[in-house]
Structure 1
Amino acid sequence: MSAEQPLFLNRRSTINCRGHLIDTSIPKVMGIINITPDSFYSGSRFRVDRDIIKRVEDIIEEGGDMVDVGAYSTRPGADELPEQEELDRLLPALTLIRKKYPDLIVSVDTFRSNNARSLVKEGLTDIINDVSGGDIDSAMFETIAELNVPYIIMHNKGIPQNMQQRPEYRDVVAEVSLWMARKVDILRGLGVNDIIIDPGFGFSKTLEHNFTLFSHIEEFDLFQLPILIGISRKSMIYKLLETDAEGALNGSSVLNTVALMKGANILRVHDVKEAVECVKLVSKIKSASKY
């Protein structure tokens, strides 16, 4: 590697969670848990203790590798949630999960650095999943560097309340890639080693933007970082298929399969069993093709 090449070209297929290396060259499945009343898919909403634990049990039994817990709905047009209220929702749920499943890898979906710091300091989360890529809270990158935890950086333009208001790109693949390159370079400069990139399907993108970006997933391998794909039951699927989120399971499985063939390392999903089956089948195809 020449001195002129940027730091983000160093290959990393592992992430360090509490001192344990997670090999994402073997794709992982992340089960979604929304402790919010207004998530776009009703099947992912859990607010009562017993329902949260049952959801975690189901994710584990179905072969999931980790969970992603969110208290702020980031669907387009979602209402704003005060920072303290988000933390008040997350603390009891994460405490419950950590107590019963101390070894489970837990990601928290938040774009607020104060809440990220509080939850990591309490030992309640292993990964921070930021749907704003550090754009909403300017302190997030330095906070992640201080906390030394894996960071999922997702491409987005705007906030949930306005991100779908006429999103425009001249070249969505090039623009998302350039945005990601700049962000990763900043994180590397701060000493952040465990970075997972998420192209941000369904966030500040039209249907055409989403499918153009999806068709070029393999180009994000340029970064030599784990790639997370989150398309589960999203509008890019159900609008094209003329159904709704409830009827988007088949479409989600199809796109998860294609994403894996294109190099996805982590699938963030509502339907864990089906995603695990996708991983098994695609892994078998890839291993068989080596002979």
Structure 2
Amino acid sequence: MFSQLNKPLIMGILNVTPDSFSDGGKYSGLNDALKQVEHMLTEGVDIIDIGGESTRPGSDSVTPEEQIHRVIPVITAIRQQLKSAISISIDTTSSIVAKAALGAGVNIINDVSAGQNDPAILALAAQTGVPIILMHSQGTPKTMQDSPYYQNVVQEVIEALEQRVDAALKAGVKKAKIAIDPGIGFGKRKQDNLDLLAHLDTLVALGFPVLLGTSRKRFMGTICAVTEPSELVTATAVTTALGVMAGVQLFRVHDVKENRQAADVAWAIRQSR
């Protein structure tokens, strides 16, 4: 999938959790989750990203068993009730959860720990041949925003991602099946996030599809002087447009319609260069 990207893809967030920072509890019921998937499909989503564990700053970990309990009914319903061929990614750091999700119909692994929490997830990706997204983070969700520090955030994130890519390749994952994510907001200060966004082209130059996940994140609220994540839809769409112009190919968002429009317009402009 990642090796054949020819236009930006929109990944719609579906958190079936009680405590995610922006939409916790909204889609924990099966009917509500399915309605949201149908809504995203009408707005032009390319991938549904389903997670059963919040990774907001300060969040506690969730057992693989509980994650499976949350996500598998939704994945199964999408495949059986909606009968949609939409690509589905599982947002987890657990190989146990990822394996169960793949069995239920998922076809992408999205690991915010890039295989560090559970190295077996890299072997699973290699064995099954599914694409895997490797994200940079400093620390765990519980502690990552306590006191993050970098001397050169762009270079340090690049070096860390290169190490995780190397680990994936050594585990047998094919290069064409790997995408990378700088982990905006994951163990980053406001200026770190801005520096990474200003140098997305440097990340793209590594030769892997880049996923950008800025959706409704707090650092933009400090710039725009708003505290409600839901008020940061326009701010998110701005970063999507800038990302497209820098060569980013995947965008993980809460608000599909607005970011689909931003990506499509920016892509048309980029194509006219």
Q: TM-score, normalised by structure 1?
A: 0.89
Cα distance in 1 between the residues matched to 2:6 and 2:57:
32
Q: Bigger CA drift: 198-207 or 236-245?
A: 236-245
1:113 paired residue number: 95
Q: Bigger CA drift: 181-190 or 146-155?
A: 181-190
On the 8 A contact 1:71/1:89 being kept in 2, the answer is: yes
Cα distance in 2 between the residues matched to 1:44 and 1:155:
26
Q: How does 1:48-67 map to 2 (within 5 A)?
A: 48-67=29-48
User: Once superposed, what is the RMSD of the aligned Cα atoms?
Assistant: 1.5
On the 8 A contact 1:27/1:265 being kept in 2, the answer is: yes
2:241 paired residue number: 257
| Structure label with greater radius of gyration | 1
2:189 paired residue number: 206
Cα distance in 1 between the residues matched to 2:56 and 2:198:
23
Amino acid paired to 2:96? N
Structure 1's unaligned 5+ residue stretches are 1-13, 17-22
Output one character per residue of 1:49-97: Cα deviation in whole Å (capped at 9) or x when no partner: 2211111111111011110001100000012212211111111111111
Output one character per residue of 1:104-157: Cα deviation in whole Å (capped at 9) or x when no partner: 10001000011111221x242100100111111132222221222100100012
Indicate yes or no: 2:259 matched with 1:275.
Answer: yes
Structure 2's unaligned 5+ residue stretches are none
SS at match of 1:248: helix
**Misfit runs of 4+, over 3 Å:** none
For these two proteins, the number of residue pairs brought into alignment is 269
Amino acid paired to 2:30? D
Q: How does 1:101-180 map to 2 (within 5 A)?
A: 101-120=83-102, 122-180=103-161
Cα distance in 2 between the residues matched to 1:90 and 1:167:
31
Output one character per residue of 1:240-282: Cα deviation in whole Å (capped at 9) or x when no partner: 2121202111111111111111111011100100111012211
Q: State the identity %.
A: 35
On the 8 A contact 1:33/1:44 being kept in 2, the answer is: no
On the 8 A contact 2:17/2:24 being kept in 1, the answer is: no
Cα 1:288/1:44, change in 2 over 3 Å: farther
- Identify the match of residue 226 of structure 1 among 186, 209, 213: 209
1:19 paired residue number: none
